[in-house]
Structures are given as C-alpha cells and as structure tokens.
Structure 1
C-alpha cells in the first residue's frame, strides 16, 4: 500500500520546512492536506486531479510517511503550531492520534447521514467513543481472481461467490490434477507480497474468529495445517510474486488471492475471460480485511471551515467513483457504478460488495496503533509462514515462539486490540 515517490514539485522543500512533515510533493495553495496513501507518482497525480475538480478553490497536497505521521502531528499540536488542516490516512493513523489530537467531526458526520456510509465504518470513526474523529472516505480490500475456464473444476455443488476454504483447497487440487500435476493457484509470497495479510486478516478470523487473542490456539494450529495443504497445491514460484496480476496475466497462475490494486491489470486485455469472487469462509465465518481510509482534521488546525468543505466535497458519490476509476479504491457512500468503469474494477466491485455484505462476514483491520512498529508485527506473521509452511517447522513450537515476539511488541507500544479481536478501551492487547 505504501510506496514512496520522489519529489514532484519544487515547492515541496519549503512546505516540508514549515510543516515538519516528510514530504514528496505538493500542489495548490488552499487547505493543507497530508496524505499517507496514493503516494506513487501516478496515484498522486490522479488524486490532485480529483481534488482540484471536487474543490476548485484548491488544496495544498503533501505526500507523507505513515510511520512518521503520528509523531509529527502530536509535535505540532503540542507546540501550538499546527501547519496542516486535513489528514487523509488509514483508520490506524487516526487511532494512534485519538481525540487528544483530532477535531471532533460529529456534526459533519451527521450532515452526511444521507450519504449511506457503511455503519461499520462509521462506528470505526468513533474510535470507541460516542463522537466521530474522522469521516470514512474510501476503502480497499482483497479478493480472489480466476480465469473462467477454471470454474469447471470447482467441487460439486460449490458456488464461486460463496466458497468455503475446504472447497477452495479442493478446487486447487482439481486444477492441479487437470494440469498434469502442476499447480495453478498462486499467493503473493514474494518479498513485497501481502501473504501476511492473507494469514492475518483472512485465515485467522475465518478459522479462529479472532487474531492476536487466538494466535496460538488449537484453532490456529488447524488453520496452519490447512495452509500447508493449500501451499502444497500452490505454484512454488509464488515465493517470487509480489503482485499477482503479473503471473495471472502471463498464464502461469490461473487463480490467485491478492489486494484489489494488485489484481486490476490481469483481466485488462480479456475481461470476459475472468471472474473475481469473495474470499473463502472458514469454520468461524468469512474473514476479510478492509483497508479503510478517512479524512480528519488535526486539533488546532487553522482552517477548519475549508477543511470541512473539502471533506464534504470528497464525500460526493461521483467524486468517490472517480477515485475508484483512477486509483482503484472503492466508495464508502452509496454510489451506483457507471457502465464505463474499467472492466477489472467492475469485477472487483461485485466481489468486494458481496464480501462486505455477507452476514457471516468477520471484519479485520490492519494493526492499529503500532505506528513505526507495524512492520515488526507483519514480520511475526511472515516468520511464522516461513518456518511452518516453507520450512516444515513444528506448528505449536513456532506459534509459541512467535507469540512471545508479538507480545513483546504489544507490551512496548501499549495498545488495545483491534478487529477482529475484542476492542476494549483501557485494556491492553494480550496474545492468546
């Protein structure tokens, strides 16, 4: 998600000096907005165009580093010298700031009641309080992409739009056998791949109903055994794949799980030959990870009125559709999908909506409140995957060892748990 771009404008150093933020590009001279997302050159250019169209008075856009955002916002607020008017970031960015460093936007949220923002996302924006501290803006997710030709190998009675993990494994086995014993399923297990999100945000909630608090449970052991079986029917070179759209497009892989932005190019040339479906369900439900972006106002901002106007403008359905069209992030408001969307985006949208609307769905979030330590949490899951799945290590001993590493991180950052684990204000997260 977070890919950093080179400097995009000569004005960046000057604004960096006055904000104290890590920047890589600015535009406009209106309210000052920091974004930790859409930082690659093309995505930033798209975002500027969307902002300028939605809010013609202009927005000064700063491309920031998510690992530094919390520290810098707190530093500005504590010094009484807030240089930014608007924050565009992940739910976790706002959670680490909390009410002490964010402006209450409850009134603005009430004005948007008719927009149809998903109630789950509105609840997240309260940060466990009775008020709103940011406005949900857009979302991304993870889905399964497959060539239609592989649907003939689905297990008897299976529906591609509501698969279980057992059916997913049976499908992988059937496809391998039909291909002369060569696997055709893929996972993004390369150095920059997101296989850790597959484990953390999809398998764990689906098999255990939780994550951190059930990390080394008996259900977790069952889940890791399942993943070993799935991996045995996965293309071995998946350890080289960072973006699954590339092996899917080449035909080396025919069915794959990944982030929507890393699948969108696969069906570009032959969209009628592809399907995209929700992630499978496990014994506890259909676990899925949502990447929720929001817009918030730092406490002490000098231009709250214009920052609020930008948020209202970015909450318009046509603006959010424009963001979907250009940067592949989906609306959080009610918005009909136009016919001229890129075909892959339309396929993804159907899968994302079905996944999110599943009554047995279990929402999972990326780690919340870890700040610069987020990478260490991901490493726990990556190391467990490497040891258990790739190297054949004992599951129980590996989970016990990695649980100690995870607890050390949590003890040092002192944060509550996050979805899918129980979120209890004032109670620190404990590994179970």
Structure 2
C-alpha cells in the first residue's frame, strides 16, 4: 500500500524527470535573436565559460517587462542583460555598477565605455559588441588621393578633393552614396555629417555649423554618381565599378570584399571641424541589481570581453569586437577589411560617437524623414541651405516635443524633450 510519503517522492521524481534543469545563469538579451545566432551563442560563445548559461533572446517589449517585474519584486532570476545602448536608458537606476569588474587587461574602446555610464558617473553597462558604417574604395582610386592624405584619417575636404580628382581622371563622378529608397542616407546625415561639423544631431540642427556641413555635402555631391539616387547596397556598384569610392553599412559592402578581396580597401568615415562623427550600433552587457549571484554574473561579464570570446561572438553574430583584438586569418575578407576600418574609426583620437535615435517610439520614421527631406531640398532641389534648415528645424522641434525624447550623444543630456535651437 502506497503511503503519502511514497506518493510525494514519486511526484517529485516525475517532476525532475520532465522539467528542464535550471540554468545557473540566465543571460536575457535583445540581441542574436535569429534561431541560428541564438544557438551559436550557446554552443560556440558561452560553452567555454565554465558555468551553465541559459542564453535567451527576446524582443524589446518582453525583455523590458521582465526586468521591470523582477526589479519591482525585489528579486529575480536574470543574471546578465544584453541589449543595445537605448535598451538600457530607461532602467539605468536598476543596474549594478560594473566599474570594478576585472577585465583582465582587455583594452576596451574608451568612447564606448563612456557611453556605458549613461550619464550616471557609474559603469551601468560594459560595451559588448558593435556594428557601424564605413567607407570603401577600389584600389584604382588610391593614386588620386590628395598629397599627404592618410586614408585612415581623411577630412571631408580631402574626400571632396579625392572624389574630384577621380572624376576628372575617369571622365565622370565615381563617388557612390546610398541615396535610393532603400538606402541608409539618413544615418549618414544623423551620425556622420552633422556630428562632424556641429557635434550635434538635434540641438544644433539649424546652426551655422550645420549650414557648413550641408554646404560641404553639396560640394561632395558634385562628384557623386547621379545614379546614387537609386542606390541601396553599394557593394553592387563597387563590383561593377560604377563607383570607386563609397559609404555604406558594413553588411551592405560585404559582397564586394568577399568576391574581390584584392580589389578594395575599407577605411573610416571622414572628419570635420568637430571631429570624426560616426554612428556605432553599440550593444552592451549589464547586471540587474536583482541578479541572484552577483559574483558569477560579474565573472560572465568579464568573460564576454575576453579577446577570444569577442572573436567567437563576431563569428556567431557578425557584430564586431569592442576590445583590441587581432582577427584570425580564417575570417572572411569582409570581416578583416571592415574590422580594421572600424578599429581605426572608433579608436581615433578625434572619434565622435553619435548614437542611434532613442525615445522616439513610432515617430522614428518621421524623425528620419526630416533628414531625408532636408537632403532632397538642399542637394537634389538646390534650395537655399539656410532657408531649408530653418524650415526643417520646425518639423524636427515638433517631433521632439511630441515624443518628449531627451537628447542622446553627441548632443548634451537634456531634461525632457531634446531642444532644437
């Protein structure tokens, strides 16, 4: 005859047999969401940590809801959080200070370390991985570089002079820009052009410095292939030699380097008077204050920044390292070329990171359209720069007031909606 004690033991045994083993550490992330990337994170990146890690990828909404619920409860199961810079901004107060974490000598990009403080004075997250936009050129263009120009430290004036020399030598404009319907032109204006001249994306949108930026871009457009208004992925035009010099996202240049690795070079975006503006897509790694085992969580964070782990992460996600690493020889040509350019750009003394827009919600499309309309009016329709900036600044100001979104780098932090001067 079975006793209640026997019944309870059988029930417990059945539960253990049918329930998955509880992971030591839950890594809750908005990144590496495709199934194949998630599995590579588990098998190829985290397997070497030495503790069982349950890597779970989530959309932004559920990701935020869960961490907020655990914070409100005062205890939780999440050991480590992974996300983009903007994912952390609303939960900064609930993140542990990682300033004392021993990174074992890993040389982490200082600009990204500063971003990880989220304006708090504490290291709220550590940089984890990055993607960005770069320049590429056919090696046939290199002999036409201006005298004394350093390909890894070009200015906008030098890029214009180079493009002009190539156009004159070849009989037509050879600079290519992703100005087509599917091109990422707005990211160039938001993250590269304006920050390089005005050290701003929003506040100084209509400033004298912004006026200078757009005037310079009009000069560059004089030597830009007019078919650029239809370009989306510049790798195609590089391969056909429609263009010899191009700007685009690393993923949209990859085929050119992989198909003809000996024909092309990658290099950083140019610099203006305010610095070398560039837009990093920065992912970070953080620890919630409710982490069940703070010491193990800190050990995992340190592990993620080891050079060998950063390389494994690159293989798994196509996001680049944020620490100084030497890439193995068996990496694809596009990775090696882009990686060197990204390292030179992000580590430059005049580097000026400009983050992706944050806090705009459904108004993100309208925000981007302001920059697209500005480009079309100034460059394509040849309207007066000052008149256009004054007009478009009103549209931008309305969006910022509507959303209440505070400023993001390179603009200075704001209380409430980011102002448009």
Band of TM-score, shorter chain: 0.7 to 0.9
Cα gap change, 1:177 to 1:66, in 2 (>3 Å): farther
1:373-407, Cα deviation, whole Å (9 max, x unpaired): 44432232222223322333433333223222222
- Aligned twin of 1:244: 234
Please show how residues 31-430 of structure 1 align to structure 2 within 5 Å: 31-40=25-34, 43-55=37-49, 57-66=51-60, 69-70=63-64, 73-74=67-68, 77-78=71-72, 84-99=78-93, 102-106=94-98, 109-112=100-103, 114-181=105-172, 183-301=173-291, 307-423=297-413, 426=415, 428-430=417-419
- Secondary structure of the equivalent of 1:132? coil
* Contact 1:96 1:368 (8 Å CA) reproduced: no
- How many angstroms does 1:256 deviate by? 0.8
- How many angstroms does 1:148 deviate by? 0.7
- How many angstroms does 1:326 deviate by? 4.5
Whole-angstrom CA distance in 2 between matches of 1:67 and 1:400? 36
Cα gap change, 1:384 to 1:69, in 2 (>3 Å): farther
Whole-angstrom CA distance in 1 between matches of 2:164 and 2:34? 38
Whole-angstrom CA distance in 2 between matches of 1:305 and 1:417? 34
Whole-angstrom CA distance in 2 between matches of 1:391 and 1:224? 13
- Secondary structure of the equivalent of 2:331? coil
- Alignment: residue pair count: 400
- Aligned twin of 1:431: 420
Whole-angstrom CA distance in 2 between matches of 1:54 and 1:372? 40
* TM-score of the two chains, using structure 2 as the length reference: 0.83
Unpaired segments of 5 or more residues in structure 2? 1-21
1:30-78, Cα deviation, whole Å (9 max, x unpaired): 6444433334565445434433433465544444334775466446644
Whole-angstrom CA distance in 2 between matches of 1:187 and 1:418? 26
- Aligned twin of 1:16: none
Q: Which has the larger radius of gyration?
A: 2
- Secondary structure of the equivalent of 2:128? strand
Unpaired segments of 5 or more residues in structure 1? 1-27
Cα gap change, 1:161 to 1:130, in 2 (>3 Å): closer
* Contact 2:404 2:416 (8 Å CA) reproduced: no
* Contact 1:380 1:402 (8 Å CA) reproduced: yes
- How many angstroms does 1:239 deviate by? 3.0
